[in-house]
Amino acid sequence: MIVLVTGGAGFIGSHTCIALLEAGFKVIVADNLCNSRVEILNKVMEITKKNIIFYEIDVTNEHSVDRIFSEHHIDGVIHFAGYKAVGESVKEPLKYYYNNIISTIVLVRACQKYKVQRFVFSSSATVYGENEVPFKESMILKPTTNPYGESKTISERILIDVSEANPAFSVALLRYFNPIGAHESGLIGEEPNGAPNNLMPYITQVAKGKIEKLRIFGADYPTFDGTGVRDYIHVMDLAEGHIAALIHLKEGIHKYNLGSGKGTSVLELVTIFEEETGIKIPFDVIDRRPGDIAECYADVRKAREELNWYVIRDLRMMCRDAWRFEKNI
Ligand SMILES: NC(=O)c1ccc[n+]([C@@H]2O[C@H](COP(=O)([O-])OP(=O)(O)OC[C@H]3O[C@@H](n4cnc5c(N)ncnc54)[C@H](O)[C@@H]3O)[C@@H](O)[C@H]2O)c1
């Protein structure tokens, strides 16, 4: 089976390429490298000892995407390509709406033209907005607080409408919670451009001495220790969730939460990181970050029941793997 992976050189995409190649899929990556490097794909090939066909293209460009579909018999698409920085999306909404929505439309049109019936989409827990935890796939989505989140909700809506009009078009909407960690080889991991937005790369950069102190955004949330609670998932568990989704994909639209199902506070994660690495993480507590919610964690029963998928890597492993990668770069 040949899978087109858009954004395959990025953080989640590159780990998913490993899982795909190890599961026997053939992989074509389309990435414009706006937030990644071609060397990452070389490392994926080094780890798996398998080949990737790479197109350096922008997936909002219909002609470039058409070329890939016309040159290969593609069986399925996993669409990771997109921008993901919530704060930046508030400052530059058009950039986010354009890239994240047009890329989805262009790819779905190519799927229709070339009769590709399997589509896996990178959605996000952000689409739940301020709902009650744990988030369930059956919940009515509340408005999100930023253009990034809206771009995911709109892309989901487009895919739902297209699939309802053409039920043979099988779509998995995968709502990721908070992916962290890195491949156990230490060769690939999360490499944010500039200052990190996410907690784990922030912690590892403080541990390495690149940043003096961790900033914790708010310790007055209605959570057990006052800091924000999130559902962390090892990026390799998340990657394997895509294989399960592809294998079990049936006609129509299917939404799945990919998370661990457990909430962990910022302070808990910092403590586990310190215990696993023996490195103290100094921190300051500052004001809450606009748009952040107190708690976010998944109900993961649907993915377990329908995809037979569940996480097998714990927080300690996430911390060790993230740190091994940070030390290597
Ligand atoms: N990392 C997270 O915490 C998280 C959580 C929920 C959802 N997601 C979603 O998962 C997907 C992957 O996230 P990630 O963390 O791997 O991000 P990433 O930035 O590491 O990877 C995205 C990749 O897409 C590429 N890209 C972006 N726009 C493109 C375009 N128009 N054409 C071709 N390539 C393009 C980038 O160069 C990059 O390699 C994104 O859609 C993101 O919104 C991520």
CA of 83 to the centre of ligand 1 (A): 6
Nearest to 83, CA basis, from 181, 149, 178: 149
Pocket test for ligand 1, best of 31, 102, 238 (most atoms within 8 A of CB): 31
30 and 6 Cβ atoms separated by less than 8 Å: yes
Tokens for 197?
A: 């937005």
Atom of ligand 1 nearest to the CA of 30: 33
Tokens for 227?
A: 């800091």
| Pocket lining: 230 vs ligand 1, CB cutoff 6 Å | no
Atom 11 in ligand 1: which residue has the minimum CA distance? 80
307 and 245 Cβ atoms separated by less than 8 Å: yes
29 and 53 Cβ atoms separated by less than 8 Å: yes
CA of 118 to the centre of ligand 1 (A): 20
| Pocket lining: 65 vs ligand 1, CB cutoff 6 Å | no
For CA atoms 82, 214, 187, 311, the dihedral sign is negative
| Pocket lining: 9 vs ligand 1, CB cutoff 6 Å | yes
Atom 18 in ligand 1: which residue has the minimum CA distance? 10
Note if 148 is an active site residue: yes
Question: What is the per-residue pLDDT for 145?
Answer: 85
Helices 38-48 and 11-22 pack at an angle, to 10 degrees, of: 30
For CA atoms 55, 57, 59, 64, the dihedral sign is negative
Strands of the sheet with 52-55, listed across from one edge? 52-55, 26-30, 2-6, 76-79, 118-124, 170-176, 253-258
| Pocket lining: 12 vs ligand 1, CB cutoff 6 Å | yes
- 281: part of which helix (H) or strand (E)? none
146 and 86 Cβ atoms separated by less than 8 Å: yes
Question: What is the per-residue pLDDT for 192?
Answer: 82
| Pocket lining: 104 vs ligand 1, CB cutoff 6 Å | no
Atom of ligand 1 nearest to the CA of 126: 6
Looking at the DSSP bridge assignments, the partners of residue 122 are 174
Question: What is the per-residue pLDDT for 290?
Answer: 83
Tokens for 229?
A: 């609670």
Q: Which residues contact 278 (CB under 8 A, 6 or more apart)?
A: none
Which among 55, 83, 128, 148 is annotated as catalytic? 148
Pocket test for ligand 1, best of 15, 52, 80, 292 (most atoms within 8 A of CB): 80
| Pocket lining: 201 vs ligand 1, CB cutoff 6 Å | no
Question: What is the per-residue pLDDT for 259?
Answer: 98
CA of 159 to the centre of ligand 1 (A): 18
| Pocket lining: 36 vs ligand 1, CB cutoff 6 Å | yes
Across the chain, which has 329 residues, the per-10-residue mean pLDDT values are 98 98 98 97 98 98 98 98 94 97 99 98 96 97 93 98 97 98 98 87 96 97 98 98 97 98 98 98 95 94 98 98 96
Nearest to 227, CA basis, from 212, 214, 211, 237: 214
String of DSSP letters for 122-178? EEEGGGG-SPPSSB-TTSPPPPPSSHHHHHHHHHHHHHHHHHHHSTTSEEEEEEE-E
Domains delineated in the chain: 2-182+232-259+298-311 (3.40.50.720)
For CA atoms 252, 159, 135, 13, the dihedral sign is positive
Atom 21 in ligand 1: which residue has the minimum CA distance? 10
| Pocket lining: 11 vs ligand 1, CB cutoff 6 Å | yes
Q: Count CB-CB contacts under 10 A for residue 65.
A: 25
Question: What is the per-residue pLDDT for 291?
Answer: 82
CA distance 196 to 205: 9
Q: What are the b/e assignments for 123-135, b being 16+ CB within 10 Å? A: bbbbbbbebebbb
| Pocket lining: 80 vs ligand 1, CB cutoff 6 Å | yes
DSSP state of 289: P
Question: What is the per-residue pLDDT for 197?
Answer: 84
